[in-house]
Amino acid sequence: MSKDNLAHVAQEDDYSRLDAAIESTVRINADRNDLEGRFPRENLQALAAAGWTGVLNEPRFGGLGLGHGDFAEAAYRIGQHDASTGLVYVMHVGAAQTINLFGNSDQKERWLKAKNGSLLGTYSTSERASGGHWWYNFSEAGRTGEDYLVNAEKSFTTSSGQADFYLVQTRTPGAKDQTDISFFIVDGKAPGIVASPWEALGVRANHSGAISYDGVKVQQRDRLGAEGQGKEIIYDGVSPVYLIGLGAVWEGVARGALNAAIAHTKGFVHKDKNRSLSDYQAIRQELGAAKVLVETLRPWRNELAAKLDELWRAGKPQSEILIPLTEFKVHAAEVANKVAAAALTVTGGYGYRRGPIERSFRDARAAIAMGPSNLIARDWIGKSLFGLPLELFYEGGE
Ligand SMILES: Cc1cc2nc3c(=O)[nH]c(=O)nc-3n(C[C@H](O)[C@H](O)[C@H](O)COP(=O)(O)OP(=O)(O)OC[C@H]3O[C@@H](n4cnc5c(N)ncnc54)[C@H](O)[C@@H]3O)c2cc1C
């Protein structure tokens, strides 16, 4: 794609529109959406109207034409108020960026530019059969003339049943094995798509349930890249943008929990001593430690985002920094969990009641499981320390 995007610099107006959208929808809908397991559609519509769902898209396809630093900053600001909306946003921008990098003009016109850029996308990769090894597929599309019939049981897909398009990862007829995969852009309204309900501990509004594709017809024009190009798309399309965005959402969750804990401990007074909770040194110690953890993330995020832009500008594969991006995801997930737990500790029974602090504690748990799970990610990081191959794709696993 054109690297002209990276010539664009965010204007003050862009951030005013982003903040207004967050303030008028994301922040105020968060508790209700969590309670009711309600998909944050208005939030995404407001972010689209502000231009931010097209943050990385080229201006000629209706996008803002900005870089990864702005995308990650938006994910962070959204995550401060609502992890569910943050994840829906990241999966959307990730799917769009994969089309930016591997799609053709026809696909960008129809999926990114159409309806003023308001179509919502997501990734549909994970399968029950391969669990957390989501890059490795057992499902397979059939062929009908020049087109395809997608058959797949996906175990988790954020925005399932809600998205306008799914970036489905599967195999094509005659694929050699589970590593020989391809990507399709699947219309969310196509017959044969059935989404299951989403009932979970946290991120209850993001509808990340199972979804099945039963003989879903996909035209050849909606195959992304070539048959069998899936591995390259995973490494250089899906993963880099997803990992920086995911880490940024968890950084936002950590910051949001810290801010909520500061506000509560400052305002809650013990009348017997006439002291607020923040007057106790033990509480300040706990929050001080949490603040240090949160502060580790911003400079790291900005450095990785700048490197992603640099690689993009140079036309080099962004997977060059797959391991540093994975380290950032792992750390952000752990920081979100530690800070949410500290926020609960210092706010006592009030923090434990339903509300933003207990929600951050439940939401943050998803960070550990989401791919690559922290266990799998640490395995990659450990292997890379010793120059060992990651062995994501083991051949002939049939
Ligand atoms: C909120 C949420 C949103 C999601 N959104 C999407 C989405 O939009 N699109 C999508 O495609 N998927 C999505 N996923 C799926 C996610 O990325 C993982 O694929 C999925 O959570 C893996 O879960 P599992 O139970 O199948 O994993 P399992 O593989 O069964 O993992 C069970 C445990 O084993 C560990 N484990 C597994 N393999 C290894 C290994 N090789 N080494 C060490 N430990 C290992 C795991 O860390 C975990 O602790 C989402 C998941 C969640 C929770």
pLDDT value at residue 398: 41
Please answer whether residues 351 and 343 qualify as being in contact, where contact means their C-beta atoms are separated by less than 8 angstroms.
yes
Residue 132: CB atoms within 10 Å: 16
The label of the residue with tokens 């990098």 reads: 101
Tell the residue nearest (CA) to atom 7 of ligand 1. 157
Please answer whether residues 326 and 273 qualify as being in contact, where contact means their C-beta atoms are separated by less than 8 angstroms.
no
Residue 95 token pair: 């799917």
Q: Give 382 Cα–ligand 1 centroid separation in angstroms.
A: 19
Tell the residue nearest (CA) to atom 41 of ligand 1. 376
Measuring CA to CA, which residue among 281, 260, 250, 253 is closest to residue 344? 260
Say if ligand 1 is within 6 A of residue 91 CB.
yes
Please answer whether residues 300 and 328 qualify as being in contact, where contact means their C-beta atoms are separated by less than 8 angstroms.
yes
**Cβ-based neighbours of 143, under 8 Å, separated by 6 or more:** 149, 172, 173
Encode pLDDT of 332-373 as tens digits: 999 999 999 999 999 999 999 999 999 999 999 999 999 999
Say if ligand 1 is within 6 A of residue 375 CB.
yes
Handedness of CA 341, 343, 345, 351 (dihedral sign): negative
pLDDT value at residue 393: 73
Encode pLDDT of 295-339 as tens digits: 999 999 999 999 999 999 999 999 999 999 999 999 999 999 999
Q: Return d(Cα 33, Cα 35) in angstroms, integer.
A: 6
Measuring CA to CA, which residue among 69, 54, 134, 135 is closest to residue 100? 54
- Atom in ligand 1 nearest the alpha carbon of residue 130: 29
Q: SS3 of 181, please?
A: strand
**Cβ-based neighbours of 134, under 8 Å, separated by 6 or more:** 125, 126, 127, 371
Say if ligand 1 is within 6 A of residue 371 CB.
yes
Say if ligand 1 is within 6 A of residue 203 CB.
yes
Domain spans of the chain? Answer: 3-120, 140-227, 231-385
Sites in the chain below the pLDDT cut of 50: 1, 396-398
Encode pLDDT of 14-39 as tens digits: 999 999 999 999 999 999 999 999 99
DSSP of 294-356:
HHTHHHHHHHHHHHHHHHHHTT--GGGGHHHHHHHHHHHHHHHHHHHHHHHHHHHHHHHSTTH
CATH fold of the domain at 140-227: Butyryl-CoA Dehydrogenase, subunit A; domain 2 (2.40.110)
Tell the residue nearest (CA) to atom 33 of ligand 1. 132
pTM as predicted: 0.97
The CATH number of the domain covering residues in 231-385: 1.20.140.10
pLDDT value at residue 3: 57
Q: Return d(Cα 38, Cα 41) in angstroms, integer.
A: 9
Say if ligand 1 is within 6 A of residue 289 CB.
no
Q: Which one is the CATH code of 3-120: 3.40.50.2300, 1.10.540.10, 1.10.150.120, 3.65.10.10?
A: 1.10.540.10
Q: How far is CA 373 from CA 246, 341, 365, 380, in A?
A: 12, 20, 11, 11
